[in-house]
Every structure is written in structure tokens, then in C-alpha cells.
Structure 1
Amino acid sequence: MLSRQTLRDEPERVREALEKKGIEDVDFDEVLDIYEEWRELKGEGDTLRHERNEVSRTIGELKQEGKEAAAQEAIERSSELKARIQAVEKRADELEAQLEEVMMRLPMVPAEEVPVGADESENVERRREGFDDLRALPDEVTPHYDLGEELDILDFERGAKVSGAGYYFAKGEGARLEHALIQFFLEVHREQGYRDVFPPLPVSSKSMEGTGQFPKFTEDAYRVEGEHDEPYDDDDLWLLPTAEVPVTNMHRDDILLDDDLPLKYQAYSPNFRQEAGEHGTETRGIVRVHQFNKVELVNFVRPEESYDRFERLVAEAEEVLKRLELPYRILEMCTGDLGFTQAKKYDIEVWAPGDEMEEGPELGGRWLEVSSVSNFEEFQARRAGIQYRPERHESAEYLHTLNGSGVAIPRVVVAILEYYQNEDGTVDVPGALQPYMGGQEVIEGHEPVGESALGAGERE
């Protein structure tokens, strides 16, 4: 969350952040009113306690001097002060709780260099990679959802039968491809100095608050434990939407040492999101599904190093696409498309040539976001109480957190099936991935099984 000093010293900057990020469910004037009353009461409480201490000190002196009447007046004044202090503290505590709640709904202020824009149409393309030497593609590239079914490596019908819309089976070489990508990504990031973490999949409400998913995005999460039609409690459990949540909260309420930083974790996990699969044409295939695999990169860094580390994190995330020789681009999010928690964010979008989109690239196909690399500055650290001590004798300070997907796997599968497909309907395995596929060079698919795979004549 934002610091109260920011609220005090830069209220208009916070108001501007609300406008730029399009957040309309916060009455900022009410927030300021609560904050100002709380500040005034805290100041009044300090003044009253100081006066009561002075009065209490004089009572003994007055009694020693035999000034009983004056001492009695001082006792009565001390009682009055005590009653007023109790009333002030009670009201201040009420306001403290209100302030804590509304502060959780204030977004991170965008970094000054973030481009101003209303929505995703005003994001800024920073660069493209891998387009200078594109491989020869079939005259008509088959979309991954058709090709996956033809090769019998993706099964949407059985996924829906087992779990409902938005789920799929990866089968045979399709499953092998996902497993290979997971291992490949993890190995690349180990080379970059990342420490492996395999996190628990259920996470608490408190953890979701720590990284900023709650209270704003409760409707997108899968609740595991707790009353499903009631507001959440701290001890409710949810399926993780991203490994960012458990990995960041590993150090909730911790004080790290300067020597620990930068701290770099990577975590593979399945991820669960209710919002996926609700975006028109993207409900076909595996571009938007409710469960998907991802490798997440999480960094804990010193504040003065966070923007240098941010650029390095972008390079670390995109390295897997470079090695797979998949064309992609880097987008900088404008203020209107910047998330609730981020100060700055880049998206990495891979090119998938198989599906013509109305607003797709000029060379056909479409862009698929496979990674969002974000700098949260101290926003998450404040919410989760994550600090570090620059020197052992110095006070603890809030550090900065960053993360990025390294990367989302289903959309990379889409890009591989569409970009590496051949005229005969087979798919070449990228060279960098072949060692993780047991040396396999081509995905040829499988014969389907069961009576449903037979033609009408064969079934008779």
C-alpha cells in the first residue's frame, strides 16, 4: 500500500493516480477526511498525554508543599485528561481501522516516466525481436485449436466433460511439450541465478492482500475454504492465481539483511483464474483457460536498485523466447492499462501466426501476452510487512518487490504449434527444446482412441 507520508505530502499525486488508472470506486475526499481527522486526534492525544504527565508530576510536589487544594484541582484535572485521552484514543482507533481499510483500496502511483494513456490502445511498443529471419510458414497456418485436435495432442471436449468450459487435456506429445517447456524454463532461470521454490497451491486471504490481489479482485479467485457467499476472512483459502502470491508472502513480516539482496526466486505452479475464458474469440483453444502452467520470477531488491533490476528482469524473462527463436515484442503499459499494484510494467507478447484477429499485427496472426514484468516499488512490501536492514545497527526499511512470468506456458504452446508447423500438419520442435523432449525433432501426433474416433461406417 501507499505510505501515509505520501497521503500527507502528495495527495494530488495520489488523486491523479486514481484518475490515470481508472479507479472509480474510491471516494478520495473521504479518504483525506478520515486521514486528517486521524492526524488531528493523534496530535491531540500526544498533547493531552504530555499535559497529563506534567499534571501528575505536580500533584506530588503540591502535596509535599502542603497545597492540598491545588493538589486536588490537579487530581481532578488529571481525571478529566484521562477521560478525554480515552475518548480520543477510542475514536482514533476507529479511524485507524477505517483508514487501514481505505488505504488497501488505493492503487500504486505510476512511475513518472510511465506513458499517460486511457487504455491498452495507448500502450507503447518498445521493440521487436526475431522478425528479421522468420521461418517459412505454410500458405495457410492452421490455428492451434484445430491443429491440436487433428494431432490429438489437445482435447477440449474431454476437458469440458471432466471440468467444464475453460479446461483442456494436453495428451501424448502435447503433454510432453508442456513438461519440456517447464523444465526448459526452470533450467534457463537457474543459469540466471534464480533459486527454485515449489509453493503450496492454496493461499490465505492475508497472502492475497499482501500482493494486492485482494480486496479488489476477489471475484477472479477460486475459493477453496470459507463461506462462498460471504466476505472473506483472513483464514479463508484460495487457489493461487499466480505463484507471485505465495512466493512474495514467504517473507511476509520478515526483516531481510542487506547481504541477502537481491533475492531471486523462481517457482513453477499451476494457476487458477475465474476471469479467464470470458473474452469472446479467445474462448477457443488454450489462450484463455481457467487453469494454466507458469514459471514465475520474484525479486526482492534494495530500493535504489529496483529499476536497474527491472530492466534485467525483462531480459531474463524474454531469454526463453530468444532461445526458442519465437518472434515477440515488448510493450510498455500506459497509465490506463497499468495494474492496481504496479508502478511500471512491460508486457512480453509472442507472435502466433495462426489466427487472424481484427486488431492483430500487420503481418497477420495475433500477439499473445506471455509475461508481465512489474515493479511494485514498496507497495507490496508495505502491505506484507517485508523489510530489510541496510546495516545491522540501522533501522529496518521497506524493500522493493518485482516479478515477471518466465513465462506462461499455454500461450507458448500456441506459438510453437502455429509458428513451427509444417505443410504436412506436423510441428518442428525448436532446437533449444529438443533435449527436453528426449531428442524428438518433430511432433507428428497420435491416432485418436475410442468409438468416437471412428467413422459412421466403421462404428456399424
Structure 2
Amino acid sequence: MHDIRAIRETPDAFDAGLARRGLPPRAAEVLELDQRLRTALTAAQNAQAQINALSRDIGQAMGNLKRIPEDAHDPVQEEHRRELLEKIDALQVDVAAAKLDLPDQEQAAEAARAALDDILATIPNLPADDVPDGADEAGNVELRRWGTPVAMSFAPRDHVDIGTPLGLDFETAGLLSGTRFSVLRGQIARLERALGQFMLDLQTGTHGYTEVNVPVLARDKALYGTGQLPKFKEDLFHTTDGFWLIPTAEVYLTNLINDRIVDTESLPLRLTALTACFRSEAGASGRDTRGMIRQHQFNKVEMVSITTPEHSNEEHERMTECAEAVLKALELPFRTLLLCTGDMGFSARKTYDLEVWLPGQQTYREISSCSNCGDFQARRMNARTRAREKQTRFVHTLNGSGLAVGRTLVAVLENYQQADGSVAVPAVLQPYMGGLTRLSA
């Protein structure tokens, strides 16, 4: 969510930020609704103030009336009594008229607020100053590479051809669930489980994240807080009883501070979870239909950080290094990209993508995104921090994959494939595999 005061003060800067994302200006539209809301609120407040003032006058007149004896025979007192009764009647008529108008004014204010909230809820975060401009992924900037792709003495196969003899089953999944699902059996199922466990152990034991076990069902409020709703509901799975299947554990981990004030001394909060994730891939029709790259259900280790504005950039670099550490430990070649303005996610102000080398495709493919959202999500969640007696302010939220387990499995299968069809098990995973060093049919 955007700071309406900042838009009022610097509308040109707001539109310039949207222009960098390739979007039309919206400040004038937002400010028109903002003015409508402020006018309606003022009218409602004035009406309520009028009711309060009239009610006070009625109370004062009633008090004065009580001081006149009902059996008074003094003509002056009787005249005063009549005047007070007439005044009270007139004031009560005015109060009744004001009370009739108040609901309409309150409804006008509510309608203006809803219209303003609706438009602000669908406008993406503004990019940070150091994010490169660009229309799409072609504008991303490669920052660094780690590792060298292995030169294989045979034509490398993709993970589908490698994994099928080892227990990767798309046919059965297709019969039972449809496309973009898979069944894993035997050693390859254990390898997938080992990857998730290794990632959790690394992020908690080495990098200091706190493991959290969260539900995979969430209500509207949670997905609104992190920015999936209302704009991206078509990319989500909705249950018949009003829940949403989470597309990432970010939804739950970030919302743990929804509508709360966190002590500054307790920051940063670093949280991680391994969950199933669910995405309808409505916007990816026809893309990556072969294999496990883009599935409706997959496992992922998510990292979330909650911190102060002063430390969010530093925390972003740290989080990205924590994601990179997984790939380094697995000895998988990768590169780190700084995404351009046209390729960032809705809630992000700056994003680093990690892309792992896949020999079967002879290219690098995304395996993690680490984003700094600034106070964008915190405003939607009303998540704030306070140090001692100082005024509250919004926290900064960050999220990143540490990593996507399914895509990491793909990378291990392709990078560790052998000429005989077997797959070597990376050294760091062998303790999780009961000492198994090779997967074979």
C-alpha cells in the first residue's frame, strides 16, 4: 500500500516511479478520490459536531427548565418556561434533521474510502532508485557468477529423461491430478526430502533463521497483506469454504506481525518455513509444460525478514547471500541478477534473482527471488515498530526463496547426471540420504 501523504506531497515523483515500471500516471486519479474522501469526512464530522453541539444546548436548556418549579405562578417564570420548551422542541427538530443527514454523509465517506483503497490496492510498489530501468527480463543486470558448468563427455539430458527411470512419474500424476503435477517414488523422493531438510538446517543452524510450521490455508486478509489479493486472485487456488491455498510461505510468515507493534529491540525477525506451495499458473499458459519447472504444487523453503527502514538494504544483501549459500553448498553453478523495473514483482521495490545452470536446457533458470518490499506490505498489514516511548513507524519486510525445492531437485539431477544414467548425490546431502552416494534405476 502507498503512503497517501507522500502522493499528496510529491505526485510527480509518484507518477515518475510508475512510469519506470511502464505504467501510466495515477496520482491525479488517486488525489481526486482522496479529496472526495476528505470532503465527505469533513461533512460527516461537521454533521456530528453539529449534533453534539445541539445536544449540549438541549441538555443545558433541560437543566435550566428543571430549575423552574412546575407549579410556579410567577408570570416571568412561566414565560421563561415556555421559551425553554419551545427552544428544546426546535433544537430536537434540528438534531433529528442532522441525524437524518449523517448516515448519507458517512456512507459517502465510506464509498470514497473504499474507492481510494481499491485503487491503491492494485498499484504496485515503486522501484528503488538503484533498480535499473527496463521493460522486461532483457533489462535485468547480471551482477556475478559462481561456479563453472561441468563439461560433460556425453550429451546432457534434461531432468525428465534423467528422473523418469529413477522414480519421477508424470503419467500417474496426470491421470490423478492433471497437468503440472508429479509423483516422486523411491530414491528420488528421498532426495527431494533431503534437499528440503538440508535447506532448513542451513538457514536455521548457520544463518540464524527461526523455523516456523505454518498452515497452507489462509484467509483473504493474509493474502491482501502480502499483495497477492486482490490483483492476482486468478493465480491462486480458492477452496469452497473461503480459504486460499498459499502460493508461498511468505504469506503466513510475513502476516505473523499483521496489525501488531513490534519492539524495535527485537528486530530483525528472521523466519523460515518449508511448505507446499500452490499456484494456478494462470498467467503462464503454455510455458514450461514439460517437467517440474512450473508446477501447480511444489515445496519451497521461504525466508522472511522483518526489520527497520535503516537496515532493510543491508538485510536484503544478507538474505540473498543466505540463498546463494545453498547453491554453493550443493556446488551448483549459478548467477545473480538485479531485476529491472519491468520484471519485478508487485510488492517489491528491489529484487535479486538467482538463476541456476541447467545442462539439459543449456541455460540458467530462476531458482530464487529475494525481494525488499520496504514498507509496502507493512502498510497493508498495519505492521509497525516502536522503540521505547517513541512514535510508531512501519517496519520493512523482505522475502526470499531459500530455495525452491523442486527446481533445486531439477538442478541436481541435471548437473550431477552420469553417462550411465545414474545421478551422483552431492556430498552435503549424503548424510540425509543414509550415506547413499548415487541414484540409479
Alignment match of 2:394 (pick from 383, 393, 398): 398
- Paired position in structure 1 for 2:70: none
Cα shift readout 1:304-333 (whole Å, capped 9, x = no counterpart): 111111111111111100111111011111
Query: C-alpha root-mean-square deviation of aligned residues, in Å?
Result: 2.8
Report how many aligned residue pairs link the two structures.
422
Code of the aligned partner of 2:32:
D
Cα shift readout 1:168-192 (whole Å, capped 9, x = no counterpart): 1112111011011011000100121
* TM superposition shift of 1:197: 0.8
Instruction: Write out aligned runs for 1:42-441 (5 A).
Output: 42-46=41-45, 87-131=104-148, 134-149=149-164, 151-190=165-204, 191-226=206-241, 236-275=242-281, 278=284, 280=286, 282-355=288-361, 365-391=362-388, 393-441=389-437
The unaligned stretches of length 5 or more in structure 2 are 65-79
Q: Secondary structure at the match of 1:395?
A: coil
CA gap 1:239/1:23 in 2 versus in 1, 3 angstroms: farther
Q: In structure 1, what is the Cα distance between the partners aligned to 2:180 and 2:170? A: 8
- Paired position in structure 2 for 1:37: 36
CA gap 1:223/1:80 in 2 versus in 1, 3 angstroms: closer
* TM superposition shift of 1:21: 2.9
Code of the aligned partner of 1:302:
T
TM-score (norm 1): 0.83
Asked if structure 2 preserves the Cα contact closer than 8 Å seen for 1:257 and 1:390, the reply is yes
* TM superposition shift of 1:97: 2.0
Cα shift readout 1:114-136 (whole Å, capped 9, x = no counterpart): 111111111111111112xx444
Q: In structure 2, what is the Cα distance between the partners aligned to 1:211 and 1:278? A: 21
Q: Secondary structure at the match of 1:335?
A: coil
Q: In structure 2, what is the Cα distance between the partners aligned to 1:332 and 1:170? A: 34
* TM superposition shift of 1:292: 0.7
Q: In structure 2, what is the Cα distance between the partners aligned to 1:82 and 1:219? A: 43
Cα shift readout 1:202-239 (whole Å, capped 9, x = no counterpart): 1112211111001111111111124xxxxxxxxx1011
Q: In structure 1, what is the Cα distance between the partners aligned to 2:392 and 2:129? A: 26
Q: In structure 1, what is the Cα distance between the partners aligned to 2:354 and 2:436? A: 28
* TM superposition shift of 1:17: 3.6
Q: In structure 2, what is the Cα distance between the partners aligned to 1:11 and 1:281? A: 38
Asked if structure 2 preserves the Cα contact closer than 8 Å seen for 1:138 and 1:422, the reply is no
Code of the aligned partner of 1:247:
L
Asked if structure 1 preserves the Cα contact closer than 8 Å seen for 2:15 and 2:26, the reply is no
Q: In structure 2, what is the Cα distance between the partners aligned to 1:41 and 1:128? A: 56
TM-score (norm 2): 0.87
Q: In structure 1, what is the Cα distance between the partners aligned to 2:312 and 2:416? A: 37
Q: In structure 2, what is the Cα distance between the partners aligned to 1:423 and 1:125? A: 32
Q: In structure 1, what is the Cα distance between the partners aligned to 2:392 and 2:287? A: 49
* TM superposition shift of 1:89: 3.2
Q: In structure 2, what is the Cα distance between the partners aligned to 1:23 and 1:53? A: 46
Q: In structure 1, what is the Cα distance between the partners aligned to 2:170 and 2:104? A: 63
Q: In structure 2, what is the Cα distance between the partners aligned to 1:210 and 1:41? A: 27
CA gap 1:437/1:98 in 2 versus in 1, 3 angstroms: same
* TM superposition shift of 1:30: 3.5
Q: Secondary structure at the match of 1:5?
A: helix
Q: In structure 2, what is the Cα distance between the partners aligned to 1:293 and 1:57? A: 64
